[in-house]
C-alpha cells in the first residue's frame, strides 16, 4: 500500500495549487494523508475526487467549512498499521513523550503545523512523521512531502522528497 503524506498546503494563500509532482504522487498513492491547514475547501474537493482514499484533518488555519467536513484527529488501520493524524502536537521539546501518552493505540502519528519535516520514534515505539509543506517552506531549504509504503502492518520506505524551487 503506497502512501502520500502532506500537510500545510495553504492553497491558495501560499500557492495557487499543489505542485505537479505532488499531483503525480496523488495519482500513484493508495492513500493520501493530509495533516491540516488546507485553507480552502476547493483543495479538499479536488483531493477527494482524485484520491483512491483520503485521510485528512483540519488545522488551525482552516475555517468552518473545512472543520465541518474534517475531524481534529483521524485514525485508520491500514493493512494492520494503526495510524493517527492530527495537525498540532505542541512544542518540539517533549513531543515524543506527549504523543506516546496521547496516542497509545497508534503505531504511527502524522502531524503538521510547523512546516518542518520530522521523523522520530518515541520510546514507546510510536513513529512520528511530519512531511513539512509542499507549498510553504518557511525557514526550511525546500518545500517537502513524504511517501511511504505499508507492508504487513509495518511502515516501510519512508522518503522525504524536496521539491524544486518555484
In 25-42, which positions are buried (b, 16+ CB within 10 angstroms) versus exposed (e)? bbeebebbbbbbbbbbbe
| Residues 111/89, Cβ–Cβ less than 8 Å | yes
- Checking if the pLDDT of 14 tops 90, the result is no
In 122-147, which positions are buried (b, 16+ CB within 10 angstroms) versus exposed (e)? beeebbbbbbbbbbbbeeeeebbbbb
pLDDT in the model for residue 13: 87
Nearest to 57 by CA among 111, 14, 96: 111
Range of the domain at 41: 2-162
> For the segment 141-160, what is each residue's pLDDT rounded down to a tens digit?
999 999 999 999 999 999 99
pLDDT in the model for residue 153: 94
Q: What is the pTM of this model?
A: 0.97
> For the segment 75-134, what is each residue's pLDDT rounded down to a tens digit?
999 999 999 999 999 999 999 999 999 999 999 999 999 999 999 999 999 999 999 999
Average pLDDT over residues 8-13: 93
pLDDT in the model for residue 116: 96
Q: In what order do the strands lie in the sheet with 2-6?
A: 54-56, 31-34, 2-6, 144-151, 154-162
Q: How many separate domains does the chain show?
A: 1
CATH of the domain at 120: 3.60.21.10
Greatest distance between any 2 Cα atoms in the chain = 40
pLDDT in the model for residue 43: 97
CA distance 113 to 7: 8
Amino acid at each position: 500500500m503506497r502512501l502520500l503524506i502532506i500537510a500545510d498546503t495553504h492553497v491558495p494563500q501560499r500557492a495557487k495549487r499543489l505542485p505537479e509532482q505532488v499531483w503525480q504522487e496523488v495519482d500513484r498513492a493508495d492513500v493520501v494523508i493530509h495533516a491540516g491547514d488546507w485553507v480552502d475547501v476547493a483543495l479538499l474537493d479536488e483531493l477527494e475526487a482524485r484520491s483512491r482514499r483520503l485521510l485528512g484533518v483540519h488545522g488551525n488555519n482552516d475555517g468552518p467549512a473545512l472543520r465541518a467536513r474534517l475531524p481534529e484527529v483521524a485514525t485508520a488501520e491500514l493493512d494492520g498499521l494503526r495510524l493517527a493524524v492530527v495537525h498540532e502536537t505542541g512544542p518540539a521539546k517533549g513531543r515524543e513523550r506527549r504523543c506516546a501518552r496521547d496516542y497509545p493505540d497508534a503505531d504511527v502519528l502524522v502531524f503538521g503545523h510547523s512546516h518542518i519535516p520530522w521523523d522520530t520514534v518515541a520510546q514507546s515505539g510510536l513513529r512520528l512523521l511530519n512531511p513539512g509543506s509542499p507549498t510553504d517552506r518557511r525557514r526550511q531549504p525546500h518545500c517537502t512531502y513524504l511517501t511511504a509504503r505499508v507492508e504487513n502492518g509495518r511502515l516501510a520506505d519512508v522518503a522525504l522528497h524536496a521539491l524544486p524551487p518555484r
